[in-house]
Amino acid sequence: MEKKPHFARREFLPREVSSISLALLLVVVLLLNALLYFYLNKFYSSLGGTETDPGLCPFGHFKLGAAKNCSPWLSCEAINREVRKLKCVGEGAVKKVFLSEWKENKVVLSQLTNSELKEDFLHGLKMLKALQSKHVVRLLGYCEQQFTILTEYHPLGSLRGLNETLHIPKYKGMNTWHHRLMLAIDYVSVIRYLHSSPLGTLVMCDSNDLDKVLSQYLLTSDFHILVNDLDALPLVNRSAGRLVKCGHRELRGEFVAPEQRWPYGEDVPFEDDLMPPYDEKTDIWKIPDVSNFLLGHVKGSDIVRLHLFDIHAECKKKDPAERPSAQEVLDTYRKVLTLLIREAAMPGTREML
């Protein structure tokens, strides 16, 4: 009788091959998810997971360029002695802005131009001092007596020039749905910060049209967004029954929220005393319009808009109370980014599983 060998060669059945392939695929998916988690965790930390920046100095101090140590905010005397104006780079209703130089560093010097608006200027300075964080342009010094403010210089300028910047050869690689969505997340992070600031709930009032909104923010060289102009930032205090009105003139157009428009029709002349006040949800109404600009028209941006459709519809609710908070919008934006990065990293995985 023939003896059977102790070790017989075994052939894998198709089902076993399929099981092994599936197991390997799951391992790959888990590894990619882990990498994605670490990437997004690092990204969110840099974007606003915390409001303070490890690179920021103690209150009343700043660090500029490659400097290792923090310096105290420059005083009137130091500004007059050490800061040299180079050229005027802008002028608004409240102040004139000069590109300047301090100890071989480019800086921005802002000076009041209309004495009737000095209260707005000083309010902007007060906000700038109190809100120093990763979301706000860095304050370097000020002189209240001369109505002068010194801030960090950002060569890419305001968000108004975003599309032009992205056509420069050096920055063309940033012109993707991914980087544009990160800018939109940055923008909503600023709104969230203002709505839950150390001072309370602040409303971004200099925002009656898209161009005006974009002019309030700076684009940094590493493609982040900072709020720059804080002259019109009133405080909402619901517990004290304090709401706000953005100026004393009638606001028109679809960009401003419905509650910011004159509610009594064309037949009743506008009167500021009769205009009802409102709260921070006016900022939420404007988020879809600003994000639409930031997303641009690049490959993949329409897919991003599709994923943001529902939250943007919520932002455009006529009743302010039905609109989401800035935190809820931010959470949705982050979830969409996570989803789209995962799908880009693992195309077809769902079908394979």
Interval 104-153: pLDDT, tens: 999 999 999 998 999 999 999 999 999 999 999 999 999 999 999 999 99
Mean of pLDDT over the chain:
88
Burial class, 81, CB count within 10 angstroms (exposed 0-12 / middle 13-18 / buried 19+) = exposed
pLDDT at 47: 45
CATH 1.10.510.10 residue ranges of the chain are 157-345
% of the chain beyond a pLDDT of 90: 75
Q: Please name which of 240, 183, 167, 179 lies closest in space to residue 217, comparing C-alpha atoms.
A: 183
46 or 15, higher pLDDT: 15
- The model's confidence at residue 67, banded by pLDDT at 50, 70 and 90, is confident
228: Cβ contacts below 8 Å, ≥ 6 apart: 137, 151, 158, 216, 217, 218
Phi, then psi, of 240 in degrees rounded to 5: -95, 5
d(CA 210, CA 214): 6
pTM of the entire predicted model: 0.84
Question: Amino acid letter at 84?
Answer: R
pLDDT at 130: 96
3-state DSSP assignment of residue 291: helix
Phi, then psi, of 234 in degrees rounded to 5: -75, 160
CATH of 157-345, one of 2.40.50.140, 3.10.180.10, 1.10.510.10, 3.40.309.10: 1.10.510.10
CATH 3.30.200.20 residue ranges of the chain are 71-152
- The model's confidence at residue 55, banded by pLDDT at 50, 70 and 90, is low
d(CA 134, CA 222): 13
pLDDT at 324: 98
> What separation in angstroms does the CA of 148 have from each of 51, 110, 151?
27, 6, 10
Mean pLDDT to the nearest integer, 287-305: 97
pLDDT at 351: 47
Q: Report CA 178 to chain centroid distance, whole Å.
A: 15
Given CATH 3.40.50.300, say whether it is the number of domain 71-152.
no
Dihedral sign (CA 124, 128, 131, 135): positive
Mean pLDDT to the nearest integer, 145-167: 96
312 or 239, higher pLDDT: 312
pLDDT at 157: 95
